[in-house]
Amino acid sequence: MPKVKKRFVAMLMTCIFLLLSGCGGANTAGVNTSDSAAAAGDGGSKNNTQSTEPVTIEFWYGLGGKLGENMQALIDKFNSSQSEVIVKPIVQADYSETEKKLQAAIAAGTVPGAVLSSNVDWARKGYYASLDELIAATPDFNPEDVVQTFLEQGQVDGKQYFLPMYGTTQVMYYRKDALEQHGLKAEDLNTWEALAAAAEKMTVKEGDKTVFYGWEPMWGSGNMIDAVYGKGGKILSEDGKTVLIDSPEWVETWDLFRKWIHEDKIMRIHSGGQGWEYWYKTIDDVMKGQAAGYTGSSGDQGDLDFGIVGAMEQPGWEGYGEGKPAAEAIMAGIPAAASPEQQQAAMKWYAFFMSAENTAFWSMNTGYIAVRQSALENPEFIAFSEQNPQATVPLKQATHGSKPFQDPTGGKISDALKIAADKVQISNVSAAEALKEAKETAQRELDRIQK
């Protein structure tokens, strides 16, 4: 046989040998890369230096302004801190749009790995993954250190489906110069009656037109519900079978807001627009000197200049003691349709965001409430609070706040309240009429699920 032919045969046999050796050494057909990695970690060769690609997940959230910037900063910090997970931010217009797009994604089977949204009804239907096993498998996540009031809000039928990323409560922001000009002090505005009197004093009118408003409640049912809680009003009876939103506590409170807005014209609201447009218009009125103050989220602090404004807790009512506004956790979940690798990656991201250091960072830069008790021991947070006393207002208010309403109808009662609030705040419909209609709708929906 010629030497060239012999050399060719030898090379051919070598290739066949190597190919067969590769096949016999590791049958990779149908093997999940995460399973391979787990096997290696469990007892595979210590000399195995094969690298795995990081898991990329989309994180959907509806945050704008400074909140969006701070979220991006923490995502960048997380991505640069390790090489196992890459979080890809997908920004929505607001919380509502996030939920709408998630609903479409669930139907299409193309869900994100992580989402700043929660829905108890969807959790019961299996659209969200239970997090208990993921939490147990995350060594750097200590659920006992999480503020329990917030953690409990993410539980559905005894299982943890959502994690609190940050806490929020609606507080009061006021222009210091407006109060000083009229000889008013924030600590004296500790009842709604006193606030209304101060708003009337600070309001400036030119003929029938108000050119400077004494106060601006935020559009929606939120802070009107908070005011009802301050009078002891409830949405449902103790047994959960009867809707109570047409009780005297509700009608009297909501009709006062209607009167202040439409008759006295000492207050106004901005409504409509895209996303958070109405919210930022309200803030702008105060910052630009067109209103003395407004009711807004603790998370607004990142957008405010506290050289101009101050912060105080929501007032109570004369004879009822301090206010009892809702203290709510903004929750994040993991869609059940996400792959196991994506779910693990999402949990790693959540644990990072909720660490004492990062939840303190979020609180200092946004005004939202930190969700880890140990964040209060963070030296930077302690120093920040001493220099920025407004940062402690949401925390103090949360200590006597009410738990947020969990709608057993999957949002139908809350929707009825939103419609009623629009009638009162925008259309000047009497509270009695608006709440009666809302009660009938809400009771019908509640009865339907109890059959």
83: tokens are 């090489």
Q: How far apart are CA 296 and CA 19, in angstroms?
A: 67
Contacts for 187 with CB less than 8 Å, ≥ 6 apart: 312
Task: List domains and CATH numbers for the chain.
Answer: 55-167+329-398 (3.40.190.10), 169-327+402-450 (3.40.190.10)
**Cα first-last separation, the chain:** 90
Task: Let me know: does 249 contact 232? Beta carbons within 8 Å.
Answer: yes
b/e per residue, 151-169, with b = 16+ CB within 10 A? bebbebeeebbbbbbbbbb
Residue 77 has a pLDDT of 98
Q: How far apart are CA 122 and CA 234, in angstroms?
A: 25
DSSP assignment of 95-151 equals: HHHHHHHHHHHHHHT---SEES---HHHHHTT-B---HHHHHT-TT--GGGB-HHHH
Residue 51 has a pLDDT of 52
Query: pLDDT, tens digit, for every residue of 35-61?
Result: 333 333 333 333 444 458 999 999 999
Query: pLDDT, tens digit, for every residue of 348-360?
Result: 999 999 999 999 9
Contacts for 84 with CB less than 8 Å, ≥ 6 apart: 54, 55, 345, 348
Q: Taking residues 108-121, report their average pLDDT.
A: 95
DSSP assignment of 370-411 equals: PSBGGGGG-HHHHHHHHH-GGGGHHHHHHTTPBPPP--TTSS
pLDDT higher than threshold 50 for residue 448: yes
Regarding pTM above 0.85, the answer is: no
Residue 403 has a pLDDT of 87
Which amino acid type is present at position 252? E
Q: Which of 31-45, 141-155, 243-257, 395-409 has the highest mean pLDDT?
A: 243-257
Confidence category of residue 7, pLDDT binned at 50, 70, 90:
very low
Q: Taking residues 267-282, report their average pLDDT.
A: 95
Confidence category of residue 221, pLDDT binned at 50, 70, 90:
very high
User: In sequence order, what are the beta bridge partners of 89?
Assistant: 59
Q: Taking residues 169-195, report their average pLDDT.
A: 97
Give all strands (DSSP E) within 239-320, no chain letters. 293-297, 309-312
